[in-house]
Amino acid sequence: MRSTGLALAATLVTALTATLLGPVAPAAARPGGPPRPVVTVAQGGLRGQETGGAQEFLGVPYAAPPVGDARLRAPQPPPRRPGVREAVQQAPACLQFSPFGLRDPLAVSEDCLYLDVYRPRTARPGARLPVVFWMHGGAYSQGTGTQFGGRTMAELTQSVVVSVNYRLGQLGYLGLPELAEANGLTGPRSGSFGLMDQLAALRWTRENIAAFGGNPGNVTVSGQSAGSGSVCALLAAPSAAGLFHRAVLQSGPCTLLRTPDRPRAEAEARAFAKEVGCTDPGAVASCLRAAPGPALVEAARALPTSGPASGDGLLPVDPAAAIGSGAWNKVPVMIGSTRSEARLFVALTQPRLTAEEYAAQVLATYGAAGPEVLARYPVAAHGSPYLALSAVLTDSSFACHTAWTARTFASQVPTYVYEFDDPDSPTLAGAQVPGLDQSNAHSAELAYLHDFTMGDRPLSPAQVSLGTRMKRYWGAFARSGSPVVPGQAPWPAAGPGATVLVLDPAATRTTTSFEADHQCAFWRSRA
């Protein structure tokens, strides 16, 4: 099963890639309008802007630019600056190693270690509001925090929302010992620079979020897909202890998104360095730091990006193993998936799959178990080979691994499990395939929780209502560690009955049949 999960993660990389924006000009004054909000952080003043019932501070540096000789090194603190910095324009995305979904594909830069902060309009220093710290997904190779606005969440739930960029691809995850040794760190040696960025952003949040009205003692780390894999890594990283107090994992269970070990990470890194033309062990670090950014992206085109590696000083143990052993940063957990996760991947890679091709693929993938898989997932029962294969991959990967990961959490900490199930949900803009039902696919829930820029169409009124209920559940969990919302369906903690909250526009409800619905007993026997 581990190889199946890694293959699915690799499919996402395959299926789903300038110039740094100049200094932000001061926003035009609004005659007669209220003064724009200003906060003071460790690096100086920030002048944000008010939008509706929320205030936003955009493009805030949490680390120094990782460019030039700072490329492929641990992040350093951002410089202090006099005066007040304009914080009304989002920063570029980090360099994309498999670009997908950016409004402006040229709006990327290696100088990308920035975050956006959203707070309720009435928030003031000392308000001690809960903090939601969001990490975007994208197979560790694409995406940006700027696609996930937090204005609505902040206003509705009276929380402070932080959305971060972190280094991607081989600039974020390159397990070469020469790079780890060259970092000059006094702490753990590692090539997981993206994970180091996330830790740096959490430390910045701990130091500065009170200025926005947030409570540094109540931070919820949250992420989807590779962002959820990043949450798994933070749960297992000793240096992350105390930086957060709750965790939300969306469509990225820890038992599915396993980390590569050091030998595998090093082998992948050396293959990448060779593709760049950096083969001299004594000069590989300087060679990689001198290479043009586009050349790095080109070299990575046919090579995997596996995310943070385990077995080094930063992440000593694979997160799933650490959580299973009980040696992790224990906090209350919310975890879930969408009803038909794999529809996105199958639509992007095999949209016109025939019945014969479906059968051949299942037999080739599952060997002796192939005939039983075909019997359990017949094309006739699903309506098409596309839907049948989507069900096979959804159940064997995201759904059942969500259940299994949740059971491990629930034996140790309060754990709340959900399934997003809107049979008419939008999908990602640019990912639609005519004639295919892509509802409930991977990433479908994002438009319901964020001011999301990648939905293929606006939400209907019923879907907006579901999104409001979801935000309130998430906000209650961030506030207290328990998603109890007056007037909404109760959400009990997971226990022996494996209770799951089904997020459906028609009727949010609980179920104990999640594992049976996804045939998890069968898939467990194949693990």
Homologous superfamily of 2-23+59-325: Alpha/Beta hydrolase fold, catalytic domain (3.40.50.1820)
Specify the pairing of strand 54-61 against strand 49-51.
Answer: antiparallel
> What are the tens digits of pLDDT across the range 147-200?
999 999 999 999 999 999 999 999 999 999 988 865 554 456 799 999 999 999
Domain boundaries, the chain: 2-23+59-325, 333-526
Q: Which helix (H) or strand (E) holds 117?
A: strand 114-120
Q: Which residue is associated with the tokens 């409570």?
A: 215
Contact 224, 252 (CB under 8 A): yes
Contact 413, 332 (CB under 8 A): yes
Q: Which of 98, 109, 222, 225 is catalytic?
A: 225
> What are the tens digits of pLDDT across the range 402-414?
999 999 999 999 9
Please tell me the predicted confidence (pLDDT) of residue 186. 46
Catalytic residue at 225? yes
Residues 427, 443: Cα–Cα separation, whole Å: 7
Q: Fold identical between 2-23+59-325 and 333-526?
A: yes
Residues 303, 488: Cα–Cα separation, whole Å: 46
> What are the tens digits of pLDDT across the range 221-276?
999 999 999 999 999 999 999 999 999 999 999 999 999 999 999 999 999 999 99
> What are the tens digits of pLDDT across the range 303-356?
878 899 999 999 999 999 999 999 999 999 999 999 999 999 999 999 999 999
Residues 502, 508: Cα–Cα separation, whole Å: 6
Please tell me the predicted confidence (pLDDT) of residue 25. 34
The mean pLDDT of the chain is 91
Q: Which residues pair with 173 in a beta bridge?
A: 192
State the SS3 of 167-229.
Answer: CCHHHHECCCHHHHHHCCCCCCCCCEHHHHHHHHHHHHHHHHHHHHCEEEEEEEEEEECHHHH
Residues 492, 226: Cα–Cα separation, whole Å: 27
CATH class of 333-526: alpha beta
Quickly list DSSP for 310-367.
SSSSSS-S-HHHHHHHT-S----EEEEEETTTTHHHHHHH-TT--HHHHHHHHHHHHG
The pLDDT of 469-491, averaged and rounded, is: 97
